[in-house]
Structure formats: structure tokens, C-alpha cells
Amino acid sequence: MPETLDLTADPVDLTAALVDVPSVSGDEQRIADLVERSLREQTSLEVVRSGNTVLARTDLGRERRVVLAGHLDTVPINDNHPSRREGEVLHGCGTVDMKGGDAVMLALAGTVDQPRHDLTFVFYDCEEVEAVRNGLGRIERELPEWLRGDLAIVCEPSNAVIEAGCQGTIRVEVRTKGVRAHTARGWMGVNAIHAMGEALRRLEEYRPRTVDIDGCAYREGLQAVGITGGVAGNVVPDECVLTVNHRFAPDRTPADAEAHLRELFDGYEVTVTDSSPGALPGLSAPAARELVEAAGGQPVAKLGWTDVARFAALGMPAVNFGPGDPTLAHTRQENVQVNEIRRCLEVLRRFVA
């Protein structure tokens, strides 16, 4: 591992250097040490360390503050480490999710001395695992002022296009009850699996909404993602559980989404097992408008959940903007087009400088 990163280097080389430092969730100390040391040695930013999260910021008294956030951890390596470059493509674990975005943030921190907005950089740990371990949650509890600003940019992969806001997500269990009996005398029981047929029919006939917010089309989804039931090969089952995941547009709250699902599955026992709110795009905010102008093109809706929702919950407009195709995240074939890394840095430099 290098002693330090050259924050003025080509951001593609910076990405490769980050990829070459393994940082599977829970094992981010080496990469956090490297990022912290590089920022302290090569910038005049205020730098703070919290666990394996590294924070840095300017304090220039600007009218607005922009928060840029990126996680340092990756999913487990899958025979895709270290990095390798083939022409205009960089391969390796984390190239997309999201060390390309981290490299863009580091290059911005190392090369823009007098930004027109105050900047906060958050390089955090444990994003790829259960939410309770997410470094942003710890920072929100212990150092909340470091997450405050007028716009948050989460540099998750977005094909170098601004993806505004994000969908909310809720998972529920739809449960039926029956009565056990021997299958040779099935009329003496009530089959809980058979009773789930109507719920599955409602799902099959369901037509999700597409909601336009700030010119971004949020396409909702409702899918069965699991079903369990059965006791033994000769027993009428007395319980069946259908797990359903609903991805909802950010004009709905988790409570709205829950009420919608309870109405859809009226007559069934419904239990919420997990939910997270979405994030409105907030593209009318002044700083967000400036970013859209710098990027050009048309922002699109984020069809999924990301940590922009955490910033939106703090009352900030938030967008995703980073290099890489998100459909390649977590795959063995993870790779990023090098021109996307350079484009993201170019856009953010134009925006802040």
C-alpha cells in the first residue's frame, strides 16, 4: 500500500490506487488511514477522524455549503482484485461502487483551493452492510454539524448523470393461517398456502404508478420476493408467509406506503419488517440548480434507495452523481469507463470553482 495518494494525479490513477487497497466492509482501517494522511499532508482542509470515517471541510465563510459523501467499503472481493486497465476501461472490485466516486472527491479536495461554496467531504465506512453499522449514522449522532449544508452530493455510481432524490422502500410479510391435518384427511384442515392464492393474484394484477417530480419520473415497483410455508410432506400447512417489497416514489412517506399495502392486502395479516423513506429531488434549490447547469443534460430519477435519503431527512436537497454503471455494482465484472471518472471531476470542478 502506498504511504500517500497524489491528490493532483489523474483521477483514473487515483481510482486504481484506491481499488488496490482492499476495504471490505468492516476492514476499512487501511484505506481510511491512507485517505486521512493524504488529506492532512496535501490540503489545508480541517480534517477529523471518527472510527474509519474521514471528514474534511473548508471554512471560508461562503454563502452556501455543499456536502460530498462517498463510502470507502466494498462488498467481498470476488476474484476481481487488484485493479487492471484495458484501454479505456478500469476493472476491479470497487471501481463502480464506489471508489471512482471517492477518487473524484479526493481530486476535488486536492485541486480546488478557493471554491465558491464551502465544501464538506465525508468518506465513510460500512455502507454495504446492515444500516445500523453505516458510518453516516454514527456521524449524525456524534458530529451532526459535519452533515449540514445546502446540498448533498452522494458520489454513488450514476453513469455520470445526475440522479435526483431516491425511492423509498418497504418490506412486509403477508400471512395466512390455517389448520393442520393429515393430507389423507385434508378436509379436516385448512390449507394456509392455498389461502395465499388471492394475495398472489392481486400482486399479479397490480399496476405501479409512475410519478413525475421536478421533471424526474419515479417508476414504482411491487414484487413478491419470498414465500414460505409447509410442515411436512403429509401435513396440511397451517401457515404461509409471503414477503413483498414495495419501492415507492418520494411523494409518499413510509406511513403512506404502509397504508397503501394494507389496503391492497385487505383481509390478510400484514406485518412491516423494514422501511426507509425516499428523498425528494429538491432540484429547485439554488445550489442544486447550479449543479444541474454545470452538468448539462436532464437529471433523472434515482430508481433505488441510497444514502441521499439520510441527507433529505436532514432537510437538504440531495442527488447522486458519480462514475460507473450501477448495474455492475457488486458483480465480478465490475468496471468503469475512465471517461466517466474524468467527466464527473470536470463537472464538479465547474460547479464549485
Measured CA angle at 171 (ends 166, 177), to 5 deg: 165
Distance CA 113, CA 205 (A): 56
Catalytic pick among 102, 118, 125, 127: 127
Q: How many residues does the chain have?
A: 353
C-alpha cell of residue 203: 400482486
Give the closest residue to 84 by CA, choosing from 155, 27, 15, 25.
15
C-alpha cell of residue 347: 463537472
The one-letter amino acid code at 263 reads: E
113 is annotated as an active-site residue: no
How far is it between the farthest Cα atoms of the chain? Answer: 81
212 is annotated as an active-site residue: no
Does residue 1 contact residue 34 with C-beta atoms inside 8 Å? yes
Dihedral of alpha carbons 329, 70, 108, 163, sign? positive
Q: Is 48 exposed, middle or buried (0-12, 13-18, 19+ CB in 10 A)?
A: middle
Paired residues of 216 in beta bridges:
213
Distance CA 143, CA 124 (A): 13
H/E element, 104: helix 100-111
Q: Which residues contact 62 (CB under 8 A, 6 or more apart)?
A: 115, 116, 117, 118
Catalytic pick among 28, 36, 73, 125: 73
Catalytic residues: 73, 127
